[in-house]
Structure 1
Amino acid sequence: MGVRHGSKMLLPAHNYLTLRALVAPAVLLSLSMQGVFRGFKDTKTPLYATVIGDVANIILDPILIFACKLGVSGAAIAHVLSQYLISIILLVKLMHQVDLLPPSLKTLQFSRFLSNGFLLLFKVLATTGCVTLASSLATRLGATPMAAFQICLQVWLTSSLLSDGLAVAGQAIIATSFAEKNYEKATSTASRVLLMGCVVGVGLGIFIGLGLQFGSGVFTKDINVKHIITIGLPFVVGTQPINSIAFVFDGVNFGASDYTYSAYSMILVAIGSIGSLFALYRAAGFVGIWVALSIFMGLRAIAGIWRIGTGTGPWSFLWK
């Protein structure tokens, strides 16, 4: 990840990741169950469970980090406990709705699950690979630029994922519409969520621009870190509409079960983005990383627009 042996980031990062690794089973179980509830068109239960877990995380953070003097390790422990809480809530709720033990292994349709699952796995690897590489390159710039980069990155990802709510809603409705062969409903739903995504993206950009400009002190008191945050701010703000469109298109294409295109297009996007990351990092350092991340999200949005715009794959009915 680019952390040198003499760096003061090494020990806290190692401790944090070691503890965070304990949360992997809870996260995987939670994401799986959220997918099940989405299939039921129940988005309230995952929302309530996530809010309860996140509130617990927020309460535990200052207690473990400052009161117990655990520092970064306390943040990791708080996250682990909150994720297991979310998983327990979802599991209890799901057990009241369905029989989790299948009558036979054949009913699980493992072959169909694995074929789609591997495609989505490649997509996730391509997506997270770009962001992880960006973090690794930022680490090589030193502790202060890395601190600023992480603040910008977390705000960037958190605000962008708010658009994921639109993607989830669109995915559920579009999937039902395709199953019923109600293509008119699928088209109108896709159009509406994309329009709403644009509006949400612009609104988030304005909110984040004002918030980080005057409220960066919420994250840090370091003057140097604040200064570098202002350098990354235009990219965090300016890409919000693009990010929203990209996330919404993901949901729209998932609703159409267009997993193959989503996976392969993301791999191509990742290849281009990784190349731009290396080139722009060498040319412009911190700014170059953010330019490359902006290119990455722009290419994701273009890939989504291309599929529907050309009327190919499951969207071929648009040209009939």
Structure 2
Amino acid sequence: MKKEQVELFESDNQWMAIFKMVGPALIAILVMLIYNMADMVFVGQTGETAQVAAISVVSPVFNIIMSVAMLISGGGTVLISKDLGAKDMEHAKIVSSLCIWAASILGILVGGLIILFRHPLLLLLGATPDIEKYALQYMVILAMGAPLLLLANMLGQVLRAEGAVTDGLIGNLIGTVINIILDPIFILGMNMGVVGAAVATVIGNIFAVVYYGFYMKRRAVVLNAKIQYAIKRPIYIFSVMALGVPNSLSTLLSGLANSFANQLLAKYGSDSIAANTAAGRVNLIIVMVLMGICMGAQPLIAYNYGAGNYIRLAAVIKRLLILNLLGGAVMSGAVIILRTEIIGLFLKDEAVAATAESILSILMISSPFLGLFYLGTNFLQATGKAMEATIVSTMQKGILLIPSLFIFEYIYKFMGIRLAYVVADFGSVIIAVILLIIEWKKTVEANQKRRVDYEYCA
């Protein structure tokens, strides 16, 4: 590793190190949000709520693709960072090569399965007759581009493991700028609607993958696609996937929960789905920023854990706690104040927009505290506690949320669907904080024991 990369992980001021890691990651997250919302904004300009709703109906499919990417990138980032902390360059090269080959193969498989089962999948996702045509077009094009979407997302994350946060950001920016330029041309100029949105997304990811390939060829420390590394220890891919399960499962369950939510919303009409989609996209801004803070700092946590530098690790965790709580409170307050103007970007129908504002107000109850959930999950992942991290992720989007959707919809009807998200959020935050405290105490005790053993042997 270069001197400045080593200093970033080992000796830079803790706040400075966090901002160096988190800053580009946050910009990448915001870029990705703009990238995702560009589709909604430009499709919304067509004035057809059915097309807006189609994007929501297909979002679980997009989540499936992203969950596979996170299955590889989540574990790969942690293992590569820990290997670099332990100065094991050979193992890091093997892991990085495995990640790239696994992402490519899984992208082809996932895309093929989505296309093969497209009709039953849309039925499961709750597509109403007026939405089905648009949803099918959007979904098939995304599925065809699945290998590229998967590779672009995975590579952007794994680059952070070797400290190349700026290059990860540049790749994201390239893909997003291309997408935003093409969106109005395809969606409005060529009157392609959701088809244009999907095509622009795939083309943007092609450009991102090309840039990451250029980085690997010229500047990578350990990141590579050499098959000779992958075939040395192919079994390591299971270690990668085990650590990637928490983020992957969270994304997958989120898509499953959204499909159940859409099925419940279908009885209230496509306007209700559109209102729910708009409010959910705004809330996603806060969720993704808080997630980005924790994911951006995850290599810093993993590196210092792998190096046994627990004093620096503790300082990083404390500062991330402050950053998450403060950031969550400020963003939630801003959204409440500006909710009318923000929702107006997505919806032109005043009645539908008013419904979306009501939904958004409910979501803001739990949003300020979600950073604690992501901090807990990322700490557990970074320290190799795959099982505990998986439990936390399963709680938020699965065990707590899915039953709550049906229970609260039965009691409170339409608004009960979003109340279910708030209840699940608070429950998962509590569980994540408890597990974080337990595992941190274990880490401190293990460190103290090692120090006593070392002093005794000396």
TM norm structure 2: 0.64
Is residue 249 of structure 2 the alignment partner of residue 155 of structure 1? no
Change (3 A) 1:119 1:193: closer
In structure 1, the residue corresponding to 2:429 is in which secondary structure? helix
Partner of 1:25: 147
1:236, distance to aligned residue in structure 2 (A): 3.0
Partner of 2:127: 3
What percent of counterpart residues are identical?
21
2:305 aligned residue (159, 170, 178): 178
Give runs of aligned pairs for residues 77-156 of structure 1, distance below 5 A: 77-96=199-218, 97=220, 98-104=223-229, 105-108=231-234, 109-117=236-244, 121-156=248-283
Is residue 409 of structure 2 the alignment partner of residue 281 of structure 1? yes
Is this contact kept in 1: 2:246–2:393, CA < 8 A? no
1:169, distance to aligned residue in structure 2 (A): 3.0
* 1:124-182 superposed Cα distances (whole Å, 9 cap, x missing partner): 43343223322332234211111110011111113310122211232111101111111
AA matched with 1:72: V
1:117, distance to aligned residue in structure 2 (A): 4.3
Deviates more, 1:67-76 or 1:43-52: 43-52
1:193, distance to aligned residue in structure 2 (A): 0.7
Deviates more, 1:11-20 or 1:131-140: 131-140
Partner of 2:419: 291
1:25, distance to aligned residue in structure 2 (A): 0.7
AA matched with 2:200: A
The structure with higher relative contact order (CA 8 Å, sep 6+) is 2
CA distance in 2, matches of 1:221, 1:62: 17
Deviates more, 1:108-117 or 1:63-72: 108-117
Is residue 161 of structure 2 the alignment partner of residue 39 of structure 1? yes
CA distance in 1, matches of 2:374, 2:334: 19
Partner of 1:54: 176
2:196 aligned residue (39, 60, 74): 74
- Cα RMSD, aligned residues only: 2.1
Partner of 1:244: 371
Is residue 330 of structure 2 the alignment partner of residue 208 of structure 1? no
1:123, distance to aligned residue in structure 2 (A): 4.3
Deviates more, 1:165-174 or 1:90-99: 90-99
AA matched with 1:263: T
Change (3 A) 1:39 1:215: closer
1:38, distance to aligned residue in structure 2 (A): 1.4
2:442 aligned residue (310, 316, 320): 316
- Segments of 4+ moved more than 6 angstroms: none
Deviates more, 1:63-72 or 1:165-174: 165-174
AA matched with 1:81: I
* 1:190-232 superposed Cα distances (whole Å, 9 cap, x missing partner): 1111110111111111222223223422212101211101211
AA matched with 2:225: L
Return 5+ residue gaps in structure 1 as ranges: none
Deviates more, 1:165-174 or 1:135-144: 135-144
Matched residue pairs, number?
316
In structure 2, the residue corresponding to 1:221 is in which secondary structure? coil
Return 5+ residue gaps in structure 2 as ranges: 1-124, 449-458
In structure 2, the residue corresponding to 1:106 is in which secondary structure? coil
1:298, distance to aligned residue in structure 2 (A): 1.9
